[in-house]
Each structure stands twice: as structure tokens, then as C-alpha cells.
Structure 1
Amino acid sequence: MTSGVRFLANTPTPFPPRATGRLILIGGILLIAACLRTPVTSVAPIVTQIRESFALSTAAAGALTTLPLLAFALVSPIAAQLARRQGIEKALFAALAVMIAGALLRAIDQIACVYLGTFVLGAGIAVGNVLLPSLLKRDFPGRIAAMTAAYVVVMGMIAALGSAFIVPLTEALQGNWRLSLVLLSTLPLLAMLCWLPQITTHRHAGGPGAAGILHRGSIWRSPLAWQVTLFLGMNSFIYYIAVGWLPAMITETGYGAAYAGSLHGLMQLATAVPGLLLAPVIARMKDQRLLACATGLITLVSLAGLALWPAGVVVWTVLLGVGTGAAMILGLAFISLRAAESHQAAALSGMAQCVGYLLAAVGPMLMGALHDLAGSWYWPLLICSLCAGIMGLLGFLCGADRQIGVRRNRTGP
């Protein structure tokens, strides 16, 4: 009997508790990632129905896509402070609850509630955007590139599916766009349920080492932090101009609205492609300068192609998605790789996403005004090409193997 008990005790379980907990953590991260883009991008395909419900002008309807970006910019710097006080796990759980509240508020039959709910939803997403890179820095320091690529792929794929199915879903619900948007709130609800074990095993992320690095100097005074911030910011500027205006650019060259809409979805799908390829490459490279330059070059070529040879629109659209998607993965990976520890990663993430989404918010309006002034998309596209070139240069600067506040060979930022 004793030997039998000893045998059973020494037999390894097929799923050790630690391994199971790791899988639950990864599942929670991917579910949170699934909530970070879909609630925003799924509005564009049904914006006509929303306009008709409230008799909104084009500018007033455009605020539904601008408000989340402004929320991202305003809330992102606060997210790092929230994580320091409450811990990353609790902050992410609260962010999911805020997303659900915003989604429900957005479904109320009052335009003020729609606007307020959209902003609240954006605030919740902002916290998730900021804290996921910090979480990866702390819990997956050896797999930052792979985990970043995985959650960006999930984010892009779910957003593409949301954009593709929101119209058929609304039609199946007899035009009830409110209920369609409410159904999307099941994603953060599912993520909350999966994230509950992280709350019960919560550990505060503070520590003496973190405080020392954070208070040695403001992250906003670091040249390397600004290089990472502007690399991500330029990419956000270009990406959200494409999200807002690509269908108009395509239809202006003579293609139909349905074809333009399908290419818009194709671009979002293409943003997920780099995630399948970049993870093993980034993991093997201590220096990502050439890779970062390549993302800027691909984006530059795609935008210049749209301006100079519109007949190749399918190629340019795919390249635009690949270039911006690759830059997003690299930029998010840089937040973790260039930070010395998780608190600093949260502060850098808040800085990068604050500046990045401010640029993203003004980009579509700025390029739309320039289009009206120039009478075509030629000059706006060339200016975006120039921004892509600047992004490549910034990528070369922040792609070097170094960290903020850490001196190497007595030199460094």
C-alpha cells in the first residue's frame, strides 16, 4: 500500500498546476487583445445606420471614430500609475469592466450616451493597450517578441472578423445596430471570466528596483523613449489615415464602393500577416535596426504606389497592411525590449500611446482637409510617404540593442 502511494505521488501529472496556470494566463492575454480594436473598427461599417438614427452630419458621425483615439491619448499616461497602485492584474480587470460599461452605455437611444459610451469604451481599451507590453516584460521576458506577435495577430484577426460580420449581424437583427454593438461586449465579458484567476493570485508589481529606475529621471526626458514613441506614433498616424480614408482613396480612382470596402478589410487582414513571420526573427536578433527600417520602406513604397500607380491598388493595399502591421509589432516589442523592467515598460507604453494616438486622432482630419484643398489624394499620400520614411529612420535609431537608463560600456542614453 505504501509503495503504491509512493508510486502515485511520484507520477508526474500530465498538466502541472504551474503549466496550467501559464496556459490560463496566455489565454487571458489573448482574450484581452481581442477586445482592443474590434469595438472601435466595427463602428465604421455601420456608421450610415447610426447617422440615420440620429440625423447626424458627416463630421458628427466622424467623432465616433475620433473619440476613442482621444480617449487613448488622454488615459494612456494614467494607466501606468494605476498599475503601480493596484497591480497590473487588477488594472486590466478594471479595464475590461470599463469596456463593458462603455459598450452598454453606447447602446442607449440617446446621442449623448452614444458619444459618452464611445469615450468610456476607449478609456478601457487604452488601459489594456498600455499594460499588456508591461505584463509581457514582467512575465515573459524571454518570449517578448513571440507573445507580442501572438496578441497583435489575435487583435488584427478579431478586428477583421468584427468588421466583416457586423453588417450581416445588424441586417439579421432587422437593422438594430445597438444590439449588434452590445453583442460585441461579450468579448470583454469572456476575457474577464478568463482573467479572474489572475486576480486571486495577484501580486503587486512594486519593488525597490522599480522605484529606483522610475525616479532616476522622467521617461519623457529620455531620447530613446522619444525614438520608440515617435516610431509608434508615425505608424499610428499612417494606419488611422488608411483606416479612415482608404475606401475614399480607392473609389476616387474609379473603383466601386463594394470593391473599396473589400480592400479595406484586406488591409486589416494583412496587418496580421507579419505576426506569423516576425516572432522567430525578432527573437534571434539582438539588433532590430534593419528590420525596423524595412517596415518604413515597405510602408513608404505602398503609399507612393497608391499616389503614382493606382492600378496596382491590390498590391499597395496588401503592402500597406504588412508594413503598418510589422511596425506595430516592432513598436510594441520595443516598449518591452527597451525598458529595464515592467514599471518602466508601463510608463514608456503610456508615453508612446499618448503621443501616438494624438497623432492618430489628428491624422485623418488633417489629410482630409489637405485633400479638399488639393482636390485629390496625390499630395496627402506623398506626405504620408514622407512620414513613413521618417518612421524608418526612427526605427533605425531605436532598433539598437540598448535600454532606457542602462549604460553600456559607459555610454548610452
Structure 2
Amino acid sequence: MVLVGLNLRPALSTLAPVLTRIQQDTGLSALAIGALTTLPVLCLGIFAPLAPWLAKRFGPENTLAAALLLLAGGLSLRGVPAVLALFGGTLLVGAAIGVAGTLLPALVKRELPAGADLMTGVYTMALCLGGALGAGLSVPLADRLGSWSTGLASWALLAVAALVAWRLLMPRHDAATAAPDTGGSLRELLGQPLAWQVMLFMGSQSSLAYIVFGWLPTLLMARGYSEGEAGWMMGASVMVQLLSALSAPWLARLGRDQRPALLIVLAMVAGGFWLLLQAPAVWRWPGAVLLGLGQGGGFSLALTLIVLRTATSRLAGKLSGLVQGGGYTLAALGPLAIGVMLQFDVGLTALTRVLLGIVTVSMGFALFAGRNRRLEVDDAGRLRTR
């Protein structure tokens, strides 16, 4: 599970540091580049709801293996130096990550029910490590391998390694002994305010994460930093997410619910954006660290909410499909909006205000999603919030 998590962000974080090279070589407009950064996030939202259906039909283990194979294929396709291949490969990796990322919370809930929240922090830490490696190594790999397309494609090797390891070590369960699939249909979930609250929190905080993956180096270069330094600042920001991704679930256990932990990490995100984009240059590295701590903790807690707000692994899988499907679809609007604003030469001050506004909205949803509530199926087979 940790090795799988390591593969779920490099496909996204490797694009941003080389966007300038891609634009120069392909002649794409800023709006088209914005569409390229939005495409994988949109695919996460579109394909995540399919994961529970695929898992029920083929088994979650086999479905995850197929997603890893699709991920390797999409990454390899990005190695073809053509605009169509770049967009096609990006679509495939978004679909693969959408399915794989949705399956993991349910697998964690099933295999490690007592420590599901802490295990979520562990694989989220691996996920953040993959994102950091992708951001930090993107430019060096492009330089060493001779082109940005070959550098992007080289990450297929990591996906193949995860696929081999998963096929060898994945848990195997007899379908005949599986619990009956009762309660928790999509219609029932949509009728529960708690499901909406978790989904909207996931969407708002994820939009900030994908704005960072898609545009942070570009915004930093607009402040006057070099391409290499901007890439390493993004890499450092993602790298420190490891600490908060692992520690946030522990922090969430200290109180009666998760609201204080959620507000703390979102305040860190707001402070990090302001230091990076508005404060004097001397504060850029503290800003990168603060932003990373906040975003790592925020994403880890968002995934943890999926397992904490459900009574069974089946409900966790269904809620995961809804939360990540709807959440990532909303999150795709973030990088697209930034691309549109950059197309119209909107200044950094206005962009910073937009980012802080998204943080404020996310705090509002956190106050509801962080309450001590849980979705359960009662004796009559009806979904209830307790």
C-alpha cells in the first residue's frame, strides 16, 4: 500500500516544474497549459466514482493492479514528443490515480480497522514523498535524459515496480466469505449532509494542492526566482508534507473531534501562501515549509475523515468514491481558474487573495466535516448518521 501511494503524485507534480519548457516547445497558450494541469485533476473526479463498481465486479486487489498498469502506460505515452500524446497520457494517468486513490482508504479500513486512521497517515506520507520526488527531480531528469518528455516517461518504471510488488504481496480474500453489500447506495449517501460536508472539504483543500502542483513554480518565477529554484522550493514544500501527513492523524486523536486539527493545518496553508507570494524574499523558504506542513496535514486529514466517518470498509469505499469523485471534480476548477487569471495578466496580489479566499471556504466546511459523526447502516438496512 505504501509503494502504491508513492506512485499517486509524481504523475501530477512532475509537470509543473517543466511547464515553461513544454510551452516553449509546443507553443501552447497559457490557457491550454492551464487545461493540461486541470485535466488529471478532472479525471480524478470523473473516474473515482467508478472504483467501488470496479472493485465489486473484479475485486479491489485486481482493480488496483489494473490501475497501476494503466498508470505505467499513461506515463510511458507522455514520453512521445507530441501534444496529443502529452494530453492523452495525462488523461490516462488521471484515470488510473482516480481509481487507485479511491480504493486505498477502503483497503486500509478492511485490512487494519483498529488503526485505519494512522495507516492512512502512513500511506499519505508515502504519497507526499512521491509528490516531492516528482517536483524536485523533474528538471534534473529532463536535463539528464535530454528532454522533458523522456523525463516525464521515466516515472513509469516506479509504477511497474509497484505493480510487481502489489501482485506478489497483495491481500487475497475469498469472495464467498465477503460481507453482503447492503445499504449505503449513492442515492442514500447523497441524502446525508455529512457525506456532502466531507466531499466539499476534500474539494476545497484539494483545489489548493493542485494549484500548487500545477502553478506554484510559475507563480514563484513571476516573483523573479529561477526555474531551478522554483522547482526546488516546490519540492521542499511537498517534502515537508511527509511530517504533517504522518503526524496529523495523531493530532486529530487528541481532541473530541477533528475540527481543531483541521483549522490548524488550514491556517498554516494560508500563512505559507502569503509568505511565498507577498512577503519579502527572505521569507520564501519558511513560507515553503509552512505551506507544505499545512497541505500535508490537510490532505492526510481529508483521507482520514473517510475512514473515521464510516462504520465499515464497504461504506468507506462508497464514501471514498463519492468524496474523491465530487471533491476532485470541484478541485479541478482551482488550477483552471489560476490559468485563466494568468492568461489575463492578473497580478500576484489578486491571485493571493483568491487563494486565501479558498482557504477560508475550506475552513467553513472543516467546521462541519470535523465533527464527531459517523455513517452507519441500521438494522433495517437504512443509512443513518450517528
Output the TM-score relative to the length of structure 2: 0.88
Cα distance in structure 2, aligned partners of 1:80 and 1:114: 28
Describe the shift of the 1:143–1:167 C-alpha distance in structure 2 as closer, same or farther (beyond 3 A): same
Match of 2:39, as an amino acid? Answer: L
The Cα of 1:63 is off from its aligned counterpart by 3.4
CA-atom RMSD in angstroms: 2.7
- Alignment partner, residue 381 of structure 2: none
Query: 2:308 matched to which residue of 1?
Result: 337
Cα distance change, pair 305–401 in 1 and its aligned pair in 2 (3 A): same
Q: 1:185-228 deviations in whole A, cap 9, x for unaligned? A: 1112111111114568344398555x222249521221111111
1:318 counterpart residue number:
289
Which one of 238, 244, 247 corresponds to residue 214 of structure 2? 244
2:218 counterpart of 1:229: no
Q: For residues 366 and 169 of structure 1, do their structure 2 counterparts lie closer, same or farther at Cα, with a shift above 3 Å needed?
A: closer
- The one-letter code of the counterpart of 1:395 is A
C-alpha distance in structure 2 between counterparts of 1:394 and 1:348, whole Å = 17
1:340 is paired with a residue whose SS is: coil
Structure 1 partner of 2:161: 190
- Check if 1:355 corresponds to 2:320: no
Q: How far is 1:94 from its partner? A: 0.9
CA contact (8 A) 1:89 1:198 kept: no
Aligned to 2:100: 128
Corresponding residue of 1:78: 50
**Structure 1: distance between partners of 2:75 and 2:221:** 32
Contact 2:199–2:327 (CA<8 Å) still a contact in 1? yes
CA distance in 2 between partners of 1:38 and 1:132 (Å):
17
- Which sits farther off after the overlay, 395-404 or 84-93? 395-404
Return the offset for 1:370.
3.9
Q: What does residue range 4-403 of structure 1 map to in structure 2 within 5 Å?
A: 29-173=1-145, 175-197=146-168, 201-204=172-175, 207=178, 209=180, 211-215=181-185, 217-283=187-253, 285=255, 287-306=257-276, 309-311=279-281, 312-370=283-341, 375-403=346-374
Aligned CA distance change for structure 1 residues 103 and 202 (closer, same or farther; 3 Å): farther
Shift in alpha-carbon separation, 1:373–1:162, aligned structure 2, 3 A = closer
The DSSP-based 3-state class of the residue aligned with 2:373 is: coil
Equivalent-residue separation in structure 2 for 1:53 and 1:261 (angstroms): 19
- In the TM superposition, structure 1's runs of 4+ consecutive aligned residues that sit over 6 Å from their partners are none
1:6 corresponds to: none
* Structure 2 CA distance for aligned equivalents of residues 244 and 182 of structure 1: 18
Q: 1:279 to 1:57 in 2, by over 3 A?
A: same
State the 1:30 CA deviation. 0.8
Amino acid corresponding to residue 342 of structure 1 in structure 2: S
User: What secondary structure is seen at the aligned counterpart in 1 of 2:332?
Assistant: helix
Q: Which amino acid aligns with 1:290?
A: P
The residue matched to 2:48 in structure 1 has which SS? helix
Deviation at 1:44, TM superposition (A): 2.5
Instruction: Tell me: CA distance 1:185–1:274, structure 2 relative to 1, closer, same or farther (3 Å).
Output: same
2: distance between equivalents of 1:62 and 1:109? Answer: 19
Residue in 2 aligned with 1:20?
A: none
Aligned equivalents of 1:320 and 1:157: distance in 2? 15
Residues of 1 paired with 2:217 and 2:158: CA distance?
28
Structure 1, unpaired ranges of 5+: 1-28
- Matched length: 380
What TM-score do the two structures reach when normalised by structure 1? 0.83
Contact 1:73 1:354 survives alignment (8 Å): yes
Q: CA deviation at 1:129?
A: 0.9
Q: Deviations over 1:124-166 (max 9, x none)?
A: 1111110101111111111122211111111111221222223
User: Where does structure 2 lack aligned partners over 5 or more consecutive residues?
Assistant: 379-383
Change (3 A) 1:97 1:247: closer
Relative to structure 1, the CA distance from residue 119 to residue 198 in structure 2 (aligned partners, 3 Å threshold; closer, same or farther) is same
